[in-house]
Each structure stands twice: as C-alpha cells, then as structure tokens.
Structure 1
Amino acid sequence: QAMKWNIYATFWATRRALKPMIAQKWGRVINISSTEGKMGKPTFAPYTIAKHGINGMTKAVAQEVGTSGITVNAICPGLILTDLIMESGPATAEGLGMTFDEMIDMFSQESALKRPGKVEEVAAMAVLLASEAGAGITGATLSVDGGTAQY
C-alpha cells in the first residue's frame, strides 16, 4: 500500500498536471514526501522506499520540464501533528511497542527543535514554492522537519 498511495499516486498526478502546465509554459508541481525520504528507520522500509522514490522523481521531472517555465519540488515534513497522525498514531505506536506519547517524544527528540512540526510550517513552504518568489527553486527536496534531516 505504501508504494501505491505514495509513489504511484504522485507519479500519475504529476503526469496529469504537467499537460496543461506545458501548454501554458508555466506551472508549479509540489510533491509531498517526508523526512523518511532522506533517511531511513527500522520498520519503516516500504514507506521510506516510496518517499525516496518521490524525491528521485521530483529531481528527474524538474530536469525534464525546467525549460518550460515549470518548477518541480518536494516538501519533506518531519513529524507533523495532523488529524491523521492523531487518529492512526496510537496503533502505529502500539506496533512499535510504545505509547503514543512515547512515539511523539521519540520522533521529536530526533529534531533540533525537539518538538513536532506544525501544519502551518508546511503550508508556508508550499506557498513559497507556488509563488513567484519560488521561481528559482526546482528539483529540490526541502525539509520542514525541525532539523531532523541534516541535508
């Protein structure tokens, strides 16, 4: 499922979105990846593989369409306390042999900020990439993870 919902869906959505962008010679593709697409963690292999794939695809497609006025980037969030995390997190934590709070603390301790990220922080990066201010950024995998991935 990790491959289907992550890399395949991103590939087909990008392919579909590029057609009108190429025709109008302008566009912004913003893929959502993950800090796990820059790192790796035990028990997260399928997810990590899928996110690495999104990052590679982002770089390749950026090279293919760069002269068409289109930028292609990926945002790589770390732990963000979304509704999905709040709903599915306890089961994930249980599978890792810990409580939900312990899991949140474990992920938070991996970052320089020592806290989960905020949805608004990811949104701010997306706004930048979608704007003219982001016109010179393409092929990038940009971390919004509080300093977890050191590149």
Structure 2
Amino acid sequence: MSRATQTSEASGAYRLEGAHALVTGGGTGIGAAIAARLSGAGARVTVAGRRAEPLRGVAGGLETAQAVPFDVTDEGEVEAGLAEAVERFGPVDVLVNNAGAAESSPFARTTLDAWSRMLEVNLTGAFLVTRAVLPGMVDRRRGRVVTVASTAGLKGYPYVAAYCAAKHGVIGMTRALALEVARKGVTVNAVCPGYTETDLLAQSVANIVEKTGADEAGARARLVEGNPQGRFVSPEEVAEAVGWILGPNAEAINGQAIAVDGGEVA
C-alpha cells in the first residue's frame, strides 16, 4: 500500500515503515492514540486539526511527525494543509479521518446552525479531506482510508439526532467509496467506537450533570449502561482497530464499519 515495505514482528505489531499517515483531529483522545500507534509502527505521521498547540504536543512526542493545523470543514484550508504536509513527508499513503464533534439537544430544539455544524465537522470534513488525498492514492494504486465514525452511525441515540445523521452519512460514504476504488489498490473503511474515555465523553457527562442534576458518577453510570462489558472503551483500543485495518493482511477488509464497543451493537 506504500512504497515502504511492511513486515510483521514476532509481537504481532504491524510495521508501516516510511508510509505517510495523515490523522485529522490528531491533537487529543482517539486521534492522538492513533497517531502514536501508527508512529510506533514506523509511519511518518502528520497530525492535523484546528488547534496548533495540542497538535505540536502530540507530534513532539512521536519519532517522525509533524503538526499541520487546518480546519477540515474549510476547503481552502484543507488544500493548503495537505500541500504543507506533502512537502515534507511526501504523498499521503494512509488517511485517518478522526476530526469530529458532538452536540446534544432534543430534536425539536435543534437549530439549523447546530444541525449544520454536526454535518460539517463530522461528514463534510471527512469528505473534503478524503477527496483531497484520494486522487494521488488512485494514481499510485495504493492507499488506505479509515474514518472514525461512531456506534451512532450504526444505531440511534436520543437527543443527538444531528450527530447520528452525520455519522450514518459517514458510513454511507465509506461503503459507496469503497466500491468505487475496490479495483484501484485503495481500501476504505470505518471504525465505530462506543463511548470512549475522551474529552468528548467528559462533555457528555457534564451535559447530563447540568441537565438532570445527577452527579458525575451517576452520569457516567448512565452512559456505560449500553456497553455489555460494563466499561468505557479506551482510545488505545480504537487505535488498535485502526492499526489492524492498516496491516499487511487486511487488504480484503473494504467498505466495513467495525464496531469497537464491547458488543453494544452486536
């Protein structure tokens, strides 16, 4: 999938020596864990996002990495950011669309602005970045695209209709694009985490506390109820699923939405 040679170590860890991996939303949480996972496998990693400081913090802790701030919802910024990333590390071999956000409100109180924000950051952003890197992958007949969706792309949750709509859209885009490029050396997949220990989870907990009067422990217990394992997912578990999809024996994995959720949508 890249000009680099992939090998498998005795530990089972995949090597992506020299491949250029672009991870959006790479400054915190799942994105930072994915960046570390791919860097540990030998990739040159570009972490992207709107806030420069956390990106630089992540990149500074990796072996070969760079921070390239850009807003995935802005077509011009995407194009400029990609040009900057490619200038140092070469064409993108691996794209991980991880940038995203969530807002909650009853459907009847969801404003058009809130609806648009959820679609733009979770769906349009993935579209813009994928569209920017895909032609090069197709020309070289090698590349992998993985989008971090959510279990909200596989089922419904109350009070997050806009978020669910956007994540369902991500899954639809993934499945359609996978068919377009199936014979062109590129695979396109999604991973769908359940509630994961990230800043986004902390925001969800804070919203429940504010709106219901529950304490933090009660709010966390309410969210974890949906996981049959009775726990939250870790960012590293999501990163490991992404790493597996990018491994040398995963070429047949294409157009899939893989849940990482303890069995919630089994």
Q: 2:146 is matched with which residue?
A: 30
* Structure 2 gap ranges (5+): 1-116
Give, in whole Å, the separation in 2 of the partners of 1:41 and 1:84.
Answer: 15
Task: Report SS of the residue matched to 2:182.
Answer: helix
Identity %: 34
Give, in whole Å, the separation in 1 of the partners of 2:251 and 2:257.
Answer: 15
Give, in whole Å, the separation in 2 of the partners of 1:4 and 1:85.
Answer: 20
- In the alignment, is residue 89 of structure 1 matched against residue 204 of structure 2? yes
Task: Report SS of the residue matched to 2:146.
Answer: strand
- In the alignment, is residue 47 of structure 1 matched against residue 157 of structure 2? no
Give, in whole Å, the separation in 1 of the partners of 2:160 and 2:199.
Answer: 20
TM normalised by structure 1 equals: 0.92
Backbone CA RMSD of aligned residues: 1.4
Give, in whole Å, the separation in 1 of the partners of 2:190 and 2:250.
Answer: 13
TM normalised by structure 2 equals: 0.54
Q: 2:238 is matched with which residue?
A: 122
- In the alignment, is residue 13 of structure 1 matched against residue 129 of structure 2? yes
How far apart are 1:111 and its partner, in Å?
A: 1.4
Instruction: Summarize the Cα distance change of 1:17–1:107 in structure 2 as closer, same or farther, 3 Å threshold.
Output: same
Structure 1 or 2: more helix by fraction: 1
* Structure 2 counterpart of 1:89, one-letter code: S
Give, in whole Å, the separation in 1 of the partners of 2:171 and 2:219.
Answer: 25
From 182, 185, 198, give the equivalent of 1:69: 185
How far apart are 1:108 and its partner, in Å?
A: 1.4
**Can you list the C-alpha shifts for 1:76-98, whole angstroms capped at 9, x where unaligned?**
00011013433x23432235524
Asked if the contact 2:209–2:219 (Cα under 8 Å) also holds between the matched residues in 1, the reply is no
Task: Report SS of the residue matched to 2:190.
Answer: strand
**Can you list the C-alpha shifts for 1:92-132, whole angstroms capped at 9, x where unaligned?**
22355243332321221111111000111101001011121
Q: 1:60 is matched with which residue?
A: 176
- In the alignment, is residue 113 of structure 1 matched against residue 229 of structure 2? yes
Give, in whole Å, the separation in 2 of the partners of 1:40 and 1:103.
Answer: 19
Asked if the contact 1:7–1:50 (Cα under 8 Å) also holds between the matched residues in 2, the reply is yes
**Can you list the C-alpha shifts for 1:4-62, whole angstroms capped at 9, x where unaligned?**
11000011111112111101101100001000111101101000000000000000000
- In the alignment, is residue 134 of structure 1 matched against residue 250 of structure 2? yes
Task: Report SS of the residue matched to 1:113.
Answer: coil
Divergent runs of 4+, >3 A: none
Give, in whole Å, the separation in 2 of the partners of 1:101 and 1:48.
Answer: 25
Asked if the contact 2:187–2:253 (Cα under 8 Å) also holds between the matched residues in 1, the reply is yes
Give, in whole Å, the separation in 2 of the partners of 1:116 and 1:133.
Answer: 28
Give, in whole Å, the separation in 1 of the partners of 2:123 and 2:191.
Answer: 14
Q: How many pairs align?
A: 149
Give, in whole Å, the separation in 1 of the partners of 2:139 and 2:211.
Answer: 48
Asked if the contact 2:205–2:220 (Cα under 8 Å) also holds between the matched residues in 1, the reply is no
Give, in whole Å, the separation in 2 of the partners of 1:100 and 1:134.
Answer: 40
